Chains A and B, each alone.
Chain A
Amino acid sequence: MKKLLSVIILISLALSLAACHGRSRLSTFEVPHGLGDGEYEITFWAKNDTNRVQSEIYKKAKEDFEALYPNIKVTIRFYTNYGDIYNDVITNIATKTTPNVCITYPDHIATYMAGENVVAPLDDLIDDEKYGLGGSELRFDCPTKDEVVPEYLAEGILSGATYAIPFMRSTEACYINKTFVEALGYELPDVLTWDFVFEVSRAAAKKNGDGVYALNGQKVMKPFIYKSTDNMMIQYLRQADLPYSDDAGNVFLFGEDTKGFLLDVASNVSADAFSTFKISSYPANFLNAGQCVFAVDSTAGATWMGPDAPLVDIAEEKLVDFECVVRPVPQVDPENPQMISQGPSVCVFNKDDPREVLASWIFAEFLLTNEVQCAYSKTEGYVPVTTKARESVEYKDYLSRAGEDGDEHYAIKLAATKLLLDNTDKTFTTPVFNGSASLRDAAGQLIEEVTKSVLRHKTVDGGFIDKLYEDVSSLYRLKSSVSGPLPAAAWALIGGVALVWVALGAAILREKISKSRSKS
């Protein structure tokens, strides 16, 4: 009997060890009483849009912060895209070498959270009287919780707790060659509909007998070009009140309603009216060369849009003059416009020393000060995430000077910024769960594949889309990892563990019975 018990205990131990293999657990984070007398070295992984001004703002924030907190040294590592930060964080979780603070998307945090206690929950920190938002012990003028735009703060809530605070927000905008729209005989509405955009785009795709487009007299015309097709799909589904996913991680993307939209897209590609960034190139380049009517891109890309854009990637001789205007992305119901809320957030990673986490949190809060918020938001069509910054004299002055110059006050950038400020209550985000980043990729992939396939003269019909659903859901493992049944291996493991426990219980019971029998 003892032998049996030993074997069972050994198996249990082995299973437990196997489960722990590769993990070095961190304790649940609890807010410490203070920083103490310690010296802290924290790392901040930042993202800039290949924009030196943004890097300088981060550097100044670090210097200003270190002047206030000489015992906290901040080392910044700069990235030029979110994907690299995401990959590096994942690589560093296993070795417990994550940064202390990093710029990220909530979708990415959901993946980081697959590791236990990897990301620090922020609710207790946010509410902490001394070190929370607007806390009494902070050495800078920090916004209070109420001064952070509530919609943006809510975006950092994952599984019922806050794991991110917003840093900057943007949305998508449609940058339009109004001159072309009017030349085609249309009047530009304040709010675009998908039907309007596709109708005008089809008209813009008409060619003369010599193969040259009638509208621009050029051989190239991409009437409607979309930068982020994942956003295109997500926004359309939301506007049409069609399901995409839910908080529990159930995926509804691959449905009949989505199919209808994809077939619409296919029909417009076939009419030469629609293309994407991945297939053609940057929307701004076509817009500025007079080869596009509707260019959809982030408001954080506004400095590239328009004939007088301060940032340009095409040769000067290719630039054409036109009236450029900014509108919200195309809508299903113009009376009830809805648009994506996007932009960088900040998360804080858990560490062995809770005081190090507190030091990291204080730095994260520093990024919400008016100085940082106003300075960074001016670099692109971003908006500050605090009402405190939005209502500051400095920011109001900035907004009031639209068009005064072609750089800081570039009219198109300010128009894009105002678009978001005026529509904050009409923005939305999608549910975040482990796998939501893949689902987003899949949403874009559907549009890209349909577009590509039409261009490659393949038949795109219901059958094609059914097969596409199968391929894309398999590629992104959406059925198995998000909403599908557990794989056989997982069931086998669960079964094995259950079996061991049952055997263990039976053995103990048997021993007790035999003991009580021998006593009696």
Chain B
Amino acid sequence: MKKMIVLLLALVMVVSLAACGATEGKDTESAKDTESAVESTPDTAENGVKVMSYDEFMAAAVNDEVVIDSFVQAKQSWWDNKASVYLVDTEGAYFVYNMACSEEDYEKLETGTEIRVTGYKAEWAGEIEIAEGATFEIVDGGMAFTAAPADVTDLVGTDGLISMQNRLVEFKGLTVEAYDESGAAFAYKNAEEKTDDLYFKAKVGDTTVNFCVEFYLTGADTEVYKAVEALNVGDIIDVEGFPYWYEGANPHVTGVTVVE
């Protein structure tokens, strides 16, 4: 009996190691490497629609059917078999709102995972996205890719910022402003329970940017949520996040560092 248990344990260990080995083998690739990887995948989705480049996606009209291959950068939420995610490829970034996704599949989506998304292009309050109901598949043998944040400080207040929509970016040396007439540096959407978004404003030059700590993306127990709760008017900060759009730039913040 003991022999049998030892044998079983050994077998389980071998299987586990093999599984770990497969994960470790997915090295993070540079953008350049990734480009060739994307090219090597079939360029037509199951429905016959050609897999689009970022430029082709942007050139598509709102409500056109779109197919993209891209890499998960952040998972915003999962609820009722729907997931919202931020994606990036070598040319640009995407936000997919409420794509069909089981909880089991959601767990498989790690930062860097390459997925193919099929859906419809949409625009909601200025946010260019792939509309609710899109489907996805994890690209077989796909590479892992995580983009480094791009510094967009110089783009604030210019038309160039929107070209970085949904991509991981950083803003440097912003000055925290009073959020409202109360003089506070930030505001809760649900001040009593702290179970919802946090908002703050910071200025670069003459331009004020409205930031949002999106609760589903980064909840009350995250470092960024706590960092924003500790902000004071006049603090000089660096901000990292995804430039989401709601009637203008409204980046979803993933990191805040007080530098002064």
> Which residues from chain A sit less than 8 Å from chain B, CB to CB?
50, 52, 55, 76-80, 279-282, 285, 313-315, 318, 452, 455-457
Residues from chain B with Cβ under 8 Å of A76 in the complex: 192
A-B contact pairs, 17 of them (CB 8 A): A50-B189, A50-B190, A76-B192, A77-B192, A78-B190, A78-B193, A80-B196, A279-B122, A279-B124, A281-B247, A313-B246, A314-B248, A452-B131, A455-B62, A456-B64, A456-B120, A457-B63
Q: Which of B122, B196, B247, B248 has the most CB of A within 10 A?
A: B247
Residues from chain A with Cβ under 8 Å of B191 in the complex: 52, 55
- Can you name the residue of chain A whose Cβ is closest to the Cβ of B196? A80
Q: Is the interface of B mostly helix, strand, loop or mixed?
A: loop
- Which residue of A78, A280, A285, A452 contacts B247 across the interface (Cβ within 8 Å)? A285
Residues from chain B with Cβ under 8 Å of A452 in the complex: 120, 131
Residues from chain A with Cβ under 8 Å of B1 in the complex: none
- Which residue of A281, A315, A455 contacts B124 across the interface (Cβ within 8 Å)? A281
Instruction: From known contacts A76-B192, A78-B193, A80-B189, infer whether A313 and B63 are also in contact, taking CB-CB under 8 Å.
Output: no
Q: How far is the CB of A441 from chain B (nearest CB, A)?
A: 12
Residues from chain B with Cβ under 8 Å of A55 in the complex: 191-192
Instruction: A452 to B247: give the CA distance in the assembly, Å.
Output: 21
Instruction: A279 to B123: give the CA distance in the assembly, Å.
Output: 8
- Which residue of A281, A318, A456 contacts B65 across the interface (Cβ within 8 Å)? A456
Known pairs A285-B125, A314-B247. 20 more at Cβ < 8 A?
A: A50-B190, A55-B191, A55-B192, A77-B193, A78-B190, A78-B192, A78-B193, A80-B189, A80-B190, A280-B124, A313-B246, A313-B247, A315-B247, A315-B248, A318-B247, A452-B131, A455-B62, A455-B63, A456-B65, A456-B120
Instruction: A456 to B134: give the CA distance in the assembly, Å.
Output: 13
Chain B positions 62-96 with a Cβ under 8 Å from a chain A Cβ? 62-65
Residues from chain B with Cβ under 8 Å of A314 in the complex: 247-248
Instruction: A122 to B83: give the CA distance in the assembly, Å.
Output: 41
Report the 7 A-B pairs with minimum CB-CB distance, sorted nearest first.
Answer: A281-B125, A78-B192, A455-B63, A314-B247, A456-B63, A78-B193, A80-B190
Instruction: A285 to B193: give the CA distance in the assembly, Å.
Output: 28
Instruction: From known contacts A313-B247, A457-B63, infer whether A282 and B125 are also in contact, taking CB-CB under 8 Å.
Output: yes
Q: How far is the CB of A290 from chain B (nearest CB, A)?
A: 14
Q: How far is the CB of B34 from chain A (nearest CB, A)?
A: 31
Q: How far is the CB of A413 from chain B (nearest CB, A)?
A: 20
Residues from chain A with Cβ under 8 Å of B190 in the complex: 50, 78-80
- Can you name the residue of chain B whose Cβ is closest to the Cβ of A80? B190
Instruction: A452 to B132: give the CA distance in the assembly, Å.
Output: 11
Residues from chain A with Cβ under 8 Å of B248 in the complex: 314-315
- Can you name the residue of chain B whose Cβ is closest to the Cβ of A286? B125
Instruction: A3 to B40: give the CA distance in the assembly, Å.
Output: 71
Instruction: A76 to B191: give the CA distance in the assembly, Å.
Output: 13
Q: How far is the CB of B195 from chain A (nearest CB, A)?
A: 8
Q: How far is the CB of B239 from chain A (nearest CB, A)?
A: 20
- Can you name the residue of chain B whose Cβ is closest to the Cβ of A81? B196
Instruction: A79 to B205: give the CA distance in the assembly, Å.
Output: 37
Instruction: A456 to B121: give the CA distance in the assembly, Å.
Output: 10
- Can you name the residue of chain A whose Cβ is closest to the Cβ of B190? A80
Residues from chain B with Cβ under 8 Å of A315 in the complex: 247-248
